[in-house]
Structure 1
Amino acid sequence: MITRQWHYFDAKDQILGRLSTQIAILLIGKGKVDFAPNLDGGDYVVVTNSDSVKLTGKKELNKLYYSHSNYPGGFKTISVHEQRAKDSRRLIIHAVSKMLPKNKLRADRLQRLKVFPGSEHPYGKK
């Protein structure tokens, strides 16, 4: 029987990479006594204030996210500054997604990650 706990993070003034590693470890369930790499035994994670997460150096302007639509000429780039204005939740989701193992459990683990741009969320009190 897998028992899942809820963990709450406030991303205000937190560095994106350091916050994402803590979240990824909780989603995988690595700190649990009954950890097994083939079972999905991770916890739920709620992140608030994703719009005020910090990046070090000049990454706000220089870091780019790449995507391709699989059509000719469908290569697109977007900077962190543009992505933050468009949807700041994607910054944390993308960082955590790249830190999770690339296997069939990845999608289920990402579904347990709940990210909100403000401080309000419907998942209980902190």
Structure 2
Amino acid sequence: MKTVFVTAATAERKWYIIDAAGKPLGRVAVKVASILRGKNKPTFTPSQETGDYVIVINADKVAVTGRKRQNKMYYHHTGFPGGLKDYSFDELIDRNPVSPMEIAIRGMLPKGPLGRKLFKNVKVYAGPNHPHAAQMPIAIDL
């Protein structure tokens, strides 16, 4: 019996859709990162891009527990001296509603070229509408 080695060119790709409304931020991000890596497939290869595409809708209605809306901080440095910017979860949702979800997903992917390539396979939208109906995404319930 031979071992089947699947490459990015020969991998079978599907589209999935996840509704994040009312779901915990971390739980959604873990599921999305796992699907992007391809860990839900028997042909998972750590060094290859064999995962699927994921659409996340209602990212602005994601749930966080406790006082994380006011106390959870996101940091960004402009590159200039004294340029450290910080935003709470609420401030970041007001500025860019999809940013907390994207940051959480990106943090769970590998660092380097593979992670940057995998992150291009996730599409995050603040509302319930998305332009990917032609791909016929499969709904995943968490």
Shared fold, TM over 0.5: yes
| Cα distance in 2, alignment partners of residues 18 and 34 from structure 1 | 24
The percent identity for this pair of structures is: 37
| Cα distance in 2, alignment partners of residues 55 and 86 from structure 1 | 17
Q: What is aligned with 1:92?
A: 101
TM-score normalized by structure 2? 0.85
Select the residue among 77, 90, 105 that pairs with 1:68.
Answer: 77
| Cα distance in 2, alignment partners of residues 66 and 110 from structure 1 | 20
Amino acid paired to 2:126:
P
Gaps in structure 1 of 5+ consecutive residues: none
| Cα distance in 2, alignment partners of residues 37 and 104 from structure 1 | 13
Matches within 5 A, 1:1-126: 1-124=10-133
Count matched residues. Answer: 126
Shift of 1:92: 0.5
Q: Larger Rg: 1 or 2?
A: 2
Gaps in structure 2 of 5+ consecutive residues: 1-9, 138-142
CA-based RMSD of the aligned residues comes to: 1.0
Amino acid paired to 2:112:
N
| Cα distance in 2, alignment partners of residues 20 and 41 from structure 1 | 18
CA shift digits 1:83-113 (9 cap, x unpaired): 1111111111000111111132111111111
4+ runs deviating over 3 angstroms:
none
